[in-house]
């Protein structure tokens, strides 16, 4: 099962290497990963997607917590979080397919951010499922390039992660 | 007062109560050595190899419970410490490793003697720091010692660039340190402890399974008190030896691959396994799917990641082992009737265990002429002092020591368990002897492993460290040869050492004393003479070459499928 996990870490030298080498060293998967500082500049937030059964996830959680620089680990898989992802997509758009691309962009409320005579570059954001859906429709038209950020996630409700 | 970084480093060590460090100079630590030149409070011991220096710091840490300290220069000095760091990491030994680094402006340039030692050691350190500003140095040192010794202990590396050693700042050592991201759980949950005692007292076939964590937590006394109170059988891992006295009737001695028949049978039959500071290593569990199949498992450990890593656990208690055991004793004492009934109820179980003990005790065939290694170990126990510290190398001799020495006190057996590092024994003994100049320190080695750090004879002689080196010489890489005999049709590929070395002459060459015994009736006299000599000594015993370590659980077999004689 896929899990989206937020890891709040000290914004210090080498922390990302510690997190990623924990995954590779213990044979856990990372499907996607993003990282940036938070509103508190001393803290960075890593969001990553991983897979595994309950026992593996328990180990991942504990092992992350064991890293000295990790402040908090949040697993959003139980639906307690809102997930969003950004994708940039370069699609072939010539002759008759130009209109079709525009229709899809419109339906998904995506944006055209670059145009040439033979292509459109599209920016789209949303839950990972929505990105998958637009890609599904664009793929037959000819995907030249795809860049996804992987999801970031935030908890629902009025409380911040500190509670 | 302003000081340079090198001096601040030494001041930090003093504040941490460090009186002995092992280290080796070089270009990027020369400033530290310059400060050491006039430092009276810290004794610096120069090993002949940084790996040995690291094992020595580890040996000192295991013998004393203090944090061991090593210094090495950048590049090759730093990489030479890696085996020592990994050895300490696998066995949770508190250590601070200080490596020199090229000046900060050169980092990343492939400068002379530059390696990314933080990157190299990331998987085998508890944590590491690169000091980029001298103003951070004191705080980083405080954090390094704090992290090394608290929670599940482990090695922490501090990489110190040369320009930071030269830069000056005001020295102020923080009194306390608060890390928002590191707060190990110390106190066991009271409800869990209550439930543990009630589960335990309801069982009929209990066993305590004790690992090195009990010794690291200084909890041998509490463990013994609790087991005596409940009058239950206790088995230990290799690293747990000494946590519970092996000369007590309730001791099942060591379990696992070369453990006793009765410990392994008890593990296979128990209905209540209490794991104390142990991590269910594969050398202990045998085949996982048939491990303790009937048991409810209570697991006490300071490291939550140890719990449920390999085996299911019915009742986890995360916390300092000592704290948890103290509370368990109180809880048991609060229910004297239940305890009495429990003791009554486990009588049949204990007599079943006595039956296994009588059927297959630890034993070997004595020989009138050829020296049996087990006999040497028994004689060493008999003729050494009661508080002797024993270190071992890795191989058959290590297992014979574990089986036949009879350890009764914590921190008296220092051995590389998790990593199984050949070359560990001699330098670890050096560290223990440096910490306890007055105590007898014996290292028991094989002829293979002893050669991996034999250069440390020079360090022993130079520093007046009277370590007694016992070599059980089978002229084989015996443990591997045993596997080749049993599982590879006696195809002894590269395990015969061929070249006989004259260890008596070798001792002499280093300015130490050498003795050799070739027949059984020379063993006692050799040990007596060797132990009586007041400097470093080699005692070489020419042992039965193809003697095997038995019993044995073959790799992949269940604990109750032991090979008893082969
Ligand atoms: C550094 C290292 N290299 C290789 C091994 C694999 N190994 C384990 S035991 C052993 C044989 C050790 O031989 P010796 O030191 O003579 O001890 P004996 O088994 O004969 O008592 C070897 C090669 C190891 N544990 N460590
Ligand atoms: Mg040998």
| B308 contact residues in A (CB cutoff 8 A) | 55, 58-59
Ligand 2 geometric centre to CA of B500 (Å) = 11
User: For residue B212, is pLDDT > 80?
Assistant: yes
Distance CA(B209)–CA(B43), nearest Å, equals 39
Q: What angle separates helix B30-37 from helix B5-15, to the nearest 10 degrees? A: 60
Nearest CA to CA, how far is A79 from chain B (Å)? 25
- How far, in Å, CA of B313 to CA of B336, rounded? 27
Q: Per DSSP, what are the bridge partners of residue A125?
A: A86
B122 closest CB neighbour out of A17, A62, A71: A17
Contacts of A62 in chain B (CB under 8 A): 304-305
d(CA B452, CA B420): 13
Rg (CA), chain B: 24
Q: Which chain B residues have a beta carbon less than 8 Å from that of A9?
A: 181
Could you give the C-alpha distances from B11 to B7, B100, B160, in angstroms and in order? 6, 17, 15
Cα–Cα distance, B338 to B340 (Å, whole number) = 5
Q: Give the pairing of strands B20-23 and B68-72.
A: parallel
pLDDT at B566 over 80: no
pLDDT at B1: 86
CB B123, CB B154: distance < 8 Å: no
Q: Which of B112, B183, B385, B488 is catalytic?
A: B112
Work out the pLDDT band at B255, boundaries 50, 70, 90. Answer: very high
The tens digit of pLDDT for each residue in B74-130 reads 999 999 999 999 999 999 999 999 999 999 999 999 999 999 999 999 999 999 999
Q: B178: how many CB neighbours lie within 10 A of its CB?
A: 9
Question: Per-residue pLDDT tens for B477-490?
Answer: 999 999 999 999 99
Residues with CB under 6 A from ligand 1: B 393-397, 420-423, 446-449, 472, 474, 476-480
pLDDT band, very low/low/confident/very high, at B245 (cuts 50, 70, 90): very high
Q: What is the per-residue pLDDT across B294-344, written as a single tens digit (0 to 9) for each?
A: 999 999 999 999 999 999 999 999 999 999 999 999 999 999 999 999 999
Say yes or no for a CB contact (<8 Å) between A68 and B118. Answer: no
Strands B251-254 and B234-236: parallel
User: Across the beta sheet with B513-517, what order do the strands follow?
Assistant: B413-414, B389-392, B441-446, B468-473, B537-542, B513-517
Catalytic residue (one of B50, B114, B222, B547) = B50
This complex has an ipTM of: 0.92
The yes-or-no verdict on residue A103 having pLDDT over 80 is: yes
Give the tokens for residue B322: 């000592």
Is residue B299 exposed (0-12), middle (13-18) or buried (19+ Cβ within 10 Å)? buried
Q: Whose Cα sits closest to atom 26 in ligand 1?
A: B422
What's the DSSP call for residue B372? Answer: P
Q: How far is CA B343 from the centre of its chain?
A: 34
Q: Are A141 and A91 in contact (CB under 8 A)?
A: yes
At B361-414, the pLDDT tens digits run 999 999 999 999 999 999 999 999 999 999 999 999 999 999 999 999 999 999
Output the CA B167–ligand 2 centroid distance in Å: 50
CA distance B227 to B292: 20
Whether residue B112 lies in the annotated active site: yes
* Per-residue pLDDT at B565 exceeds 90: no
Residue A78: its pLDDT value, please?
82
**What percentage of chain A reaches a pLDDT higher than 90?**
93
Asked whether residue B554 carries a pLDDT value surpassing 80, the answer given is yes
Q: Whole-model pTM? A: 0.97
b/e per residue, B485-523, with b = 16+ CB within 10 A? beeeeeeeeebebeeebebeebbeebebbbbbbeebeeb
CB contact under 8 A, B305 and A68: no
Distance (Å, whole) CA B63 – CA B59: 6
Is A71–B181 a contact, with Cβ atoms under 8 angstroms apart? yes
- The residue-averaged pLDDT of B411-421 equals 98
- Yes or no, beta carbons of B127 and A13 under 8 Å apart: no
B194/B357 Cα distance (integer angstroms): 33
Residue of B nearest to A70 (CA): B181
Q: Are strands A111-115 and A119-126 parallel, antiparallel or unpaired?
A: antiparallel
Return the ligand 1 atom nearest residue B497 CA: 16
Instruction: Examine the residue annotation and report whether B113 is marked as an active-site residue of this protein.
Output: yes
Mean pLDDT for the stretch of residues A94-123: 96
pLDDT digits 0-9 by tens, B8-47? 999 999 999 999 999 999 999 999 999 999 999 999 999 9
């Amino acid at each position: 099962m896929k899990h989206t996990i937020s890891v709040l870490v000290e914004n210090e030298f080498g922390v990302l290497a510690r997190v990623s080498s924990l995954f590779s060293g213990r044979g856990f998967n990372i499907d996607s990963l993003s990282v940036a500082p938070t509103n508190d500049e001393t803290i960075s937030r890593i969001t990553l997607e991983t897979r595994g059964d309950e026992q593996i996830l328990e180990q991942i959680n504990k092992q992350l917590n064991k890293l000295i620089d990790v402040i908090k680990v949040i697993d959003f898989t139980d639906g307690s979080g809102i997930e969003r992802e950004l994708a940039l997509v370069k699609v072939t758009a010539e002759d008759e397919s130009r209109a079709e691309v525009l229709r899809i962009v419109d339906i998904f409320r995506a944006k055209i951010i670059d145009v040439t005579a033979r292509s459109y570059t599209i920016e789209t954001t949303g839950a990972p499922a929505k990105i998958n859906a637009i890609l599904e429709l664009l793929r037959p038209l000819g995907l030249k390039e795809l860049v996804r950020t992987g999801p970031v996630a935030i908890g629902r409700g009025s409380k911040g992660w500190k509670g | 007062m302003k000081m340079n970084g090198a001096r601040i480093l030494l001041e930090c060590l003093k504040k941490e109560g460090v009186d002995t460090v092992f280290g080796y100079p070089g270009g990027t630590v020369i400033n530290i050595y310059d400060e050491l030149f006039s430092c009276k409070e810290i004794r610096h011991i120069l090993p002949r190899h940084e790996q040995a220096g690291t094992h020595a710091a580890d040996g000192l840490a295991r013998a004393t419970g203090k944090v061991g300290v090593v210094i090495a220069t950048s590049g090759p000095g730093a990489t030479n410490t890696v085996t020592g760091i990994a050895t300490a990491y696998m066995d949770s030994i508190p250590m601070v490793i200080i490596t020199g680094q090229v000046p900060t402006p050169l980092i990343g340039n492939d400068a002379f003697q530059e390696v990314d030692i933080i990157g190299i050691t990331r998987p085998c350190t508890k944590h590491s720091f690169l000091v980029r500003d001298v103003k951070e140095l004191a705080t980083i040192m405080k954090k390094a010692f704090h992290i090394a010794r608290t929670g599940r202990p482990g090695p922490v590396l501090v990489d110190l660039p040369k320009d930071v050693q030269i830069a000056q700042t005001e020295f102020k050592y923080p009194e306390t340190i608060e890390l928002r991201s590191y707060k190990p759980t110390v106190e066991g949950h009271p409800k869990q402890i209550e439930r543990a005692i009630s589960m335990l007292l309801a069982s009929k076939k209990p066993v305590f399974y004790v690992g090195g964590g009990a010794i690291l937590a200084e909890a041998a006394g509490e463990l013994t008190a609790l087991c005596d109170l409940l009058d239950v059988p206790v088995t230990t891992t290799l690293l747990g030896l000494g946590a519970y006295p092996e000369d007590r009737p309730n001791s099942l001695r060591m379990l696992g691959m070369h453990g006793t028949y009765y410990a392994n049978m008890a593990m296979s039959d128990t209905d209540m396994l209490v794991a104390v500071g142990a991590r269910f290593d594969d050398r202990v569990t045998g085949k996982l799917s048939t491990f303790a199949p009937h048991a409810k498992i209570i697991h006490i450990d300071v490291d939550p990641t140890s719990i449920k890593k390999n085996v299911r656990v019915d009742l986890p208690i995360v916390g300092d082992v000592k704290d948890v055991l103290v509370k368990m004793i109180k809880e048991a004492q609060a229910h004297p009737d239940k305890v009495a009934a429990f003791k009554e109820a486990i009588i049949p179980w204990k007599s079943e265990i006595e039956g296994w003990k009588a059927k297959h005790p630890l034993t070997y065939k004595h020989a009138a002429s050829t020296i049996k290694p087990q006999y040497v170990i028994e004689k060493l126990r008999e003729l050494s002092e009661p508080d002797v510290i024993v270190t071992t190398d890795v191989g058959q001799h290590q297992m014979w020591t574990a089986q036949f020495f009879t350890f009764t006190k914590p921190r008296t057996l220092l051995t590389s368990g998790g990593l199984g590092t050949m070359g560990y024994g001699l330098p670890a003994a050096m560290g223990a002897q440096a910490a306890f100049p007055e105590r007898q320190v014996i290292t028991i080695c094989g002829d293979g492993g002893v050669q991996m750090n034999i250069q440390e004879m020079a360090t022993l002689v130079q520093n007046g460290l009277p370590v007694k080196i016992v070599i059980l010489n089978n002229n084989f890489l015996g443990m591997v040869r045993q596997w080749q005999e049993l599982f590879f049709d006696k195809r002894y590929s590269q395990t015969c050492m061929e070249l006989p070395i004259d260890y008596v002459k070798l001792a002499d060459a280093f300015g130490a004393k050498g003795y050799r015994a070739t027949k059984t009736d020379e063993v006692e006299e050799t040990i007596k003479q060797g132990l009586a000599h007041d400097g470093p000594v080699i005692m070489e015993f020419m042992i039965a070459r193809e003697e095997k370590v038995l019993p044995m659980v073959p790799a992949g077999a269940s604990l109750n499928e032991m090979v008893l004689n082969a």
